[in-house]
Structure 1
Amino acid sequence: MEDHLTKSITHSNNITTISPHVVIFPLPIQGPINCMLKLANLILSLSPATVSVTFVTTDFIHRRLLLHSNTAARLAHDYRPRFRFETVHDGFGPDENPRNVSLLTMSLEAQAQAEGSRLREVLGFGSAEDEMKKPVSCIIAEGLYGCMVDVAKELRVPLVYFDTCSPCCLWTYFCIPNLLKVVDLPFQDDEEGLDASITSVPGMETYLRRRDLPSFCHAYDPNNPVIQLVLKEAQEFPKAQGHILNTFDELEGDYFAHIRALCPNLYNIGPLHLNLKSRIQQETTKSISNSLWQEDRSCLAWLDAQPPKSVLFVSIGSLASMTKDQLMEIWHGLINSKSRFLWVRRPGSIINKDEDTSQDDLEMIPDDLVEGTKKRGCIVSWAPQEEVLAHGAIGGFLTHCGWNSTLESIVEGVPMICWPFYVDQQVNSRVVSEVWKIGLDMNKDNCTRVVVEELIKELMETRRDEFSKRADKMAKLAAQAVAEDGSSYNSLNHLIDDIVSMRFSI
């Protein structure tokens, strides 16, 4: 295999031997950036000094990493010259312009497909600068970049996809052609029909409903850019030389048999952040920050003053948004529940608002909310989430159920109230509540103060011991998976070995 790669990847200096050089190409949003930077750290830390990594992202993302996280400086310092960032333009102008996920993906796919583009140059050599070019021996790309199959084939470089969504959701993606064939799709997106069962996703027949399908299946439009990307991902998935999944066998083993039938070479290396911590960060509880927002660490001191397992952590992640009406319903539900709460309200996450409702504007909020927040609440614009969930004061998590957040909650044994918004979050929410039974599923369209209050009381009070017991058991399984000789520990070693020896078959 090495001889084949050596002959296939050459440039003007007529290099006859190559050392392992991985190009990592994530989707340019917080979740995938966070995952893939952790993966880069693990590859660099656990592989020989001959292995180098180029991390390709947009200039917008790179500027935010430099501004708000310690990642860029730390990796450049610890692994110089083996690690470097390479940036490309996303085509969306100034930083204040909105970045839509589907548009970003389509834009970067177009760049990857364009002959002679800077991105193609980077994918071939890991750098656009002549003096820094080094042949690439492996591309690790976000699974939604279906075009990478053709790019990698042209460059004669092995391609490994990193599917940063959950395997349970990934499996539903791959079943969409069958859903269309048996006419489970399309369906009318009305409240009466949303609870109808979906029986054409093998392994999920007993619990999957229409409302649990990925958000783009609702009001199905075949011309939707996200649907086009997902269908292409399903088509191109078997053509890659391997697939990295951020999960562990004991959590989602039932789905692996289906996915492995499409691509036998799976690397189940999750929970990735726990694998990183157990292999590299044993000496500290502080997480490595890959944040695109400034973290307000004052919330940790506030948590220190709260009783054990008394605080509900509330966050809808890096992309989801809510209306002002939803904000007020959640706020009233929190106050009426009498629970302590730590609430992350990301800048720009409140839409259709007349006034800014940040911590500094509490005088513009009804008196009962102001007083209740002062007594039992803490509101910040962004928080170090891994550290928050690991804090002993946290007893529950009201979450959008993005995959990173779900795994981080599982690792710390924190039960969840799931309020999903889009893409994989609906599937995750259903599996959390009905399969793993470590949380409650809140209908996104039924966000009233009464429902919010009832679910908080159920999670934090009436069924607290029941949920905590199951969540603790799941956390122990996660820890065992990344411990020496655990399933994810061994799978990560397998991935590193294949990268170093270039054993991928192309």
Structure 2
Amino acid sequence: MALAPPPPRVLIFPLPLQGPVNSMLKLSELLCLGGLHVTFLVTDHIDARLRRYSNVQSRFRSHPGFRLQAISDGLPENHPRGDKFLEVFESMKVHTKPLFKELLQSGGISCVIADGGLGFPLDVAEEVGIPLFIVRTISAACLWVFFRLPQLIQSGELPFTGDDDLDVMVKSVPGMERYLRRRDLPSFCRSGNVADPNIELYKCESTNNPRATGLILNTFEELESPILSQMRGVCPNIYTIGPLHAHLKAKLAATGTSLPDFSNSLWEEDRFCLVWLDDQPPKSVLYVSFGSLATVTKDQLMEFWHGLVNSGQRFLWVIRQDSVAGEGQVPMELLQGSKERGCIVNWAPQEEVLAHPAVGGFLTHSGWNSTLESVYEGVPMICWPYFLDQQVNSRLVEEEWKLGFDMKDTCDRSVIEKTVRNLMEVRKDEFQRNAAQMACSAKTSLGEGGSSSSHLERLIQDIKAKSVV
């Protein structure tokens, strides 16, 4: 009797940043649960951090078809990477691309799922003859803006600078005309230069994405339906399978699989904050985190600190060791003020924090993973975006979804104090109600027959059907 052929092996290649790695590890496990084998390819730098700080290796022992594999990004070990990501992209195009081609040509890979931001994997996969799905870990709304960059330039809506009127409405992004302003476009749009490297990097999205077998998005239909209907006119085969972090938990629960908590952070987590949260009243704490890349000046730090302390609210604040530019001591009165109602940590287990009953709000940089985690847990948001897709996401939170406030382009203690009070006290019931309704939609999408659950099943079947034997 002939042995059954092994399952297709999918190579997953994320951007070498915390957010994409986080999302795509969860996608990897979902595919493993769906009966596929997965090779998770990361740069040497990311591989070292995952092995040091995360439990990826022990977590995936229950999935014997999973492999963690490293590839060089061509940069020296001491390169800062995180805040120089364009340099990382350029280096990978030169140094990683030929290594990636060798890997695909060596055999054993049936299909590739690569972050569309990398660009070159699509060219290599086409050359080698292996089907490739693009995955984007940003919002559909931001990706749609990228799709429309050529039209924004053609219409004269780009370029502009940060000194121009940022409240001018943008008309060349169908489906977003009602609420999109200049200030809500990705931050690089303010450069005043259509030859800006970021614009050059992203304006080919509308031609690259349709070349792929399909486009995988970490969102759900009910959250971004108007945008998704526009995108399908350009890129018809879209799989919306988010929120990925919750989708994985739902699948594990449905199969009765018990695994250790998923820690895939690139930083060491301080779990004391969960003990501190246990002692706080329900929905009384504002969680504050600006993600893994954002940096603030000392002056901005002090404005936030004053605003938080003066608001009179409890807060849990993540301040990474590398997040504050420059030197300087925090005034003692603010440290004392924080001790009364606050807890400060270097890094936190964010999914657990947002799910904690004591948390009633989230002051966030509006990264897409953070936004989805907050949406799923029904936590209203104050948005202070840093760069890229975050400007778009923050506008959606306030104007389209009515889940909180967009505080972009300001860092004033009185504004921060007033906004925090509005979220946590004055309009608390309104935002909690809206957030609970959206959280219900997110959970429905993951249930049997739900939109995200159905799209995941279709993706797994399509991978099996299209994989190179």
Whether these two folds match at TM > 0.5 is: yes
Q: Distance in 1 between matches of 2:260 and 2:414?
A: 37
Partner of residue 425 from structure 2, selected from 449, 452, 461: 461
Q: Does the CA-based 8 Å contact 2:72-2:95 persist in structure 1?
A: no
- Are 2:91 and 1:107 equivalent residues in the alignment? yes
Aligned to 1:69: 54
Q: Which 5+ residue runs of structure 2 have no aligned equivalent?
A: none
| CA deviations over 1:136-185 (Å, ceiling 9, x no partner) | 21110001122222211111111100011100111011111000011000
Task: Tell me the TM-score normalised to structure 2 length.
Answer: 0.95
Structure 2 residue 440 is the aligned partner of structure 1 residue 476: yes
Residues 74, 95 of structure 2: 8 Å contact kept: no
Structure 1 residues 250 and 195, CA gap change in structure 2 (3 angstroms): same
Asked if 2 retains the 8 angstrom alpha-carbon contact of 1:312 and 1:395, the reply is yes
- The partner residue of 1:83 within 56, 62, 66 is 66
> Which residue of structure 1 aligns with residue 361 of structure 2?
396
Give the corresponding residue for 1:278: 250
1:92 alignment counterpart = 75
Secondary structure in 1 aligned to 2:369?
Answer: helix
Find the partner of 1:210 among 160, 174, 182.
182
Deviation at 1:286?
7.3
- Name the SS for the 2:59 alignment partner: helix
Contact 1:18 1:135 in 2 (8 A): no
Q: What SS does the aligned partner of 1:262 have? A: coil
**2:132 pairs with 1:147:** no
1:410 to 344, 360, 375: 375
Q: Does 1:234 align with 2:222?
A: no
How much has 1:95 moved relative to structure 2? Answer: 4.6
* 2:165 paired with 1:193: yes
The 2-side partners of 1:256 and 1:345 are apart by: 35
Contact 1:312 1:398 in 2 (8 A): yes
Q: Determine helix, strand or coil for the equivalent of 1:280.
A: helix
CA distance in 2: counterparts of 1:350 and 1:403, whole angstroms:
22
Question: Number of paired residues?
Answer: 461
Pick from 23, 30, 34 the counterpart of residue 11 of structure 2.
23
Which amino acid is the alignment partner of residue 90 of structure 1?
D
Is this contact kept in 1: 2:166–2:182, CA < 8 A? yes
- Inter-partner Cα distance in structure 1 for 2:89 and 2:193: 18
SS in 2 for 1:423: coil
Q: Name 1:130's counterpart in structure 2.
A: none
Q: Name which of structure 1's ranges 195-204 and 96-105 shifts more when overlaid on structure 2.
A: 96-105
The 1-side partners of 2:271 and 2:7 are apart by 41
Distance 1:386 1:417, change over 3 A: same
In the alignment, the residues of structure 2 paired with residue 286 and residue 205 of structure 1 have an alpha-carbon distance, to the nearest angstrom, of: 45
CA contact (8 A) 2:243 2:372 kept: yes
Deviations 1:238-276 (A, max 9, x none): 111101000111111111111111121111000111100
Q: Secondary structure at the match of 2:112?
A: strand
Out of 202, 219, 222, the residue aligned to residue 247 of structure 1 is 219
Aligned pairs for 1:161-176 (under 5 A) are 161-176=134-149
Instruction: Give the alignment partner of residue 343 of structure 1, picking from 295, 317, 320.
Output: 317
Name the CA shift for 1:41/1:327 in 2 (closer, same or farther; >3 Å).
Answer: same
Amino acid of the residue matched to residue 157 of structure 1?
A: I
Query: What root-mean-square deviation, in Å, do the aligned CA atoms of Structure 1 and Structure 2 show?
Result: 1.7
* Pair 1:124 & 2:97 matched: no
Change (3 A) 1:199 1:287: farther
SS in 2 for 1:307: coil
Q: Distance in 2 between matches of 1:18 and 1:221?
A: 51
- In structure 1, give the amino acid aligned to 2:9: H
Query: Hey, what does 1:4 align to over in structure 2?
Result: none
2:404: which partner in 1?
439
Change (3 A) 1:178 1:214: same
Q: CA deviation at 1:287?
A: 4.3
CA offset at residue 30 of structure 1? 0.2
- 1:379 aligns to 2:344 (yes or no): yes
Question: What amino acid maps onto 1:280 in structure 2?
Answer: L
Shift, 1:354, TM fit: 1.7
Deviations 1:260-302 (A, max 9, x none): 1112111100011110000015677974111000000000000
For residue 102 of structure 2, what is the amino acid of its counterpart? E
1:430-482 deviations in whole A, cap 9, x for unaligned?
011000010100023x2011010010000000000000000000000000000
> How much has 1:98 moved relative to structure 2?
4.1
- The 2-side partners of 1:45 and 1:267 are apart by 17
Indicate which of 234, 238, 257 corresponds to 1:262. Answer: 234
Q: Distance in 2 between matches of 1:220 and 1:124?
A: 42
- Given residue 138 of structure 1, which amino acid in structure 2 is its aligned partner? C
Q: Which amino acid aligns with 2:339?
A: K
The Cα shift of 1:111 comes to 3.3
Give the aligned residue type for 1:40.
S
Give the drift of 1:19: 4.5
Displacement of 1:227: 1.9
Please state whether the residue corresponding to 1:107 is helix, strand or coil.
helix
Secondary structure at the counterpart of residue 205 of structure 1: coil
Amino acid at match of 1:54: T
Whether the 8 Å contact between 1:60 and 1:95 is mirrored in structure 2 is: no
Partner SS for 1:499: helix
Of 365, 375, 378 in structure 1, the residue corresponding to residue 330 of structure 2 is: 365
User: Match of 1:495?
Assistant: 459
* CA distance in structure 1 between the aligned counterparts of 2:152 and 2:74, rounded to whole angstroms: 35
- Aligned sequence identity (%): 50
Q: Structure 2 vs 1, CA of residues 451 and 285 (structure 1 numbering), >3 Å: closer, same or farther?
A: farther
Match of 1:424 among 368, 372, 389: 389
Q: Write the distance in 1 (CA, Å) between the matches of 2:449 and 2:365.
A: 33
| Counterparts of 1:483 and 1:398, CA distance in 2 | 29
CA contact (8 A) 1:20 1:502 kept: no
Question: Using a 3 Å threshold, how does the CA distance of structure 1 residues 404 and 94 change in structure 2: closer, same or farther?
Answer: same
The answer to whether the 8 Å contact 1:146/1:233 transfers is: no
